[in-house]
Amino acid sequence: MNTTWLKYFTGMGLLVFSGLVQAVDCNAIKAKYSCPADTKFPLHLSFDDGPALQTTDVLDALRREKVPATFFVLAEKVDCGRILQQCTKADPATASDGSQCVEYRQCQLRSIILNKAKQDGHMIGSHSYSHLRYSGLDLALMTNHFQASRRVLAPYLTTEPPLFRLPYGDGWFNRKEKPHVMQALKDMNFLHVDWQLSAFDWDTKNQEGDKILDNVLTQVCSRKNGGIVLFHDGVDNQMHQGRLFTTSNIAKWIPAMRCAVDFKPLDHFLKGYEVK
């Protein structure tokens, strides 16, 4: 191909690309959220409650934008052996390979997606076994759930000590009143990772237009500080309804966020901790 043709095809490619992807007007974004003109704040994206089938949309966006993230996942979503057992219990004629069990096949897909997240270089931590309010549970049951999450998630966890984030912030927000929760995590050698900003994407009131992006950039630019921001990618049961809004729009929000933030890996915010 001669250079003229090469220029032509490159030009067409750019045209097609720019037609598909809306250009981001960083000056307008910075003005809208009163962000400083010449400073970017460090930010790390974290996603709770997955893995879900829609996590692939998040992974695609992160790969395209070269953004590192952390996924705090629920062990029950990849505990496929247990899911197959439940299928067999409900119908003893279920084939041993699980081919007739829809929940099992979905679990296998979630496992593949979680592996992909790990291969893509993202951090994976536990968000417990099944998203209970652990501070209200018996200590033995709580410990049992934390350990089960570690056992099931062992092939996926990316750090030593493994990362953990409590569901509902329960045990972290109320750590003075319920010190046994954080203590149990510490005794089990989990590193609890909290967040400094929330996208409030769990609230259905925010699931329209760019309200979730507004939440993030308003907090970053008014505080003049970044941090770890909480999003959700889990979508497949009652508790997670509506999170599809995040998985479908994150690709659009990342370039807009980049006008005011510098995406950093998790280590940037874990100074003082040795994670490998």
Give the residue from 247, 83, 75 showing the smallest Cα distance to 157: 75
DSSP state of 136: G
Cβ contact 48:230 at 8 Å: yes
Q: From the list 50, 51, 125, 167, which residue makes contact with Zn ion (rule: CB under 5 A)?
A: 167
Cβ contact 70:266 at 8 Å: yes
With CB under 5 A as the rule, give the number of residues binding Zn ion. Answer: 3
Applying CB under 5 A, which part among 8-16, 19-27, 46-54, 200-208 lies near Zn ion? 46-54
Q: Among residues 48 and 84, whose Cβ is nearest to Zn ion?
A: 48
Q: Does 233 bind Zn ion (CB under 5 A)?
A: no
Minimum distance of Zn ion from residue 24's CB (angstroms): 30
Applying CB under 5 A, which part among 25-33, 48-56, 58-66, 135-143 lies near Zn ion? 48-56
Applying CB under 5 A, which part among 55-63, 105-113, 134-142, 162-170 lies near Zn ion? 162-170
Q: Among residues 48 and 57, whose Cβ is nearest to Zn ion?
A: 48
Which residues on adjacent β-strands are paired with residue 42? 262
Q: Does 49 bind Zn ion (CB under 5 A)?
A: yes
Q: Among residues 165 and 264, whose Cβ is nearest to Zn ion?
A: 165
Q: Among residues 49 and 236, whose Cβ is nearest to Zn ion?
A: 49
Q: Among residues 109 and 132, whose Cβ is nearest to Zn ion?
A: 132
Cβ contact 199:230 at 8 Å: yes
Q: Does 170 bind Zn ion (CB under 5 A)?
A: no
Paired tokens of 209: 């237009």
Paired tokens of 71: 């996924």
Cβ contact 48:127 at 8 Å: yes
If phi over 0 gives left and psi between -120 and 50 gives alpha, with beta otherwise, what is residue 189? Answer: left
- How far is it, in rounded angstroms, from Cα 236 to Cα 169? 21
Amino acid occupying residue 231: F
Minimum distance of Zn ion from residue 152's CB (angstroms): 16
Q: From the list 30, 33, 48, 113, which residue makes contact with Zn ion (rule: CB under 5 A)?
A: 48
Task: Say how many C-beta atoms besides its own lie within 10 A of residue 36's C-beta.
Answer: 11
The CA–CA distances, whole Å, from 242 to 181, 245, 246 equal 29, 6, 8
x/- letters, 192..231, toward Zn ion (CB under 5 A): ----------------------------------------
Q: Among residues 51 and 167, whose Cβ is nearest to Zn ion?
A: 167
φ, ψ dihedrals at 45, nearest 5°: -85, 130
Residue nearest to Zn ion (CB): 48
Minimum distance of Zn ion from residue 164's CB (angstroms): 12
Q: Among residues 87 and 123, whose Cβ is nearest to Zn ion?
A: 123
DSSP state of 71: E
> Which residues of the shown chain bind Zn ion in the complex (CB under 5 A)?
48-49, 167
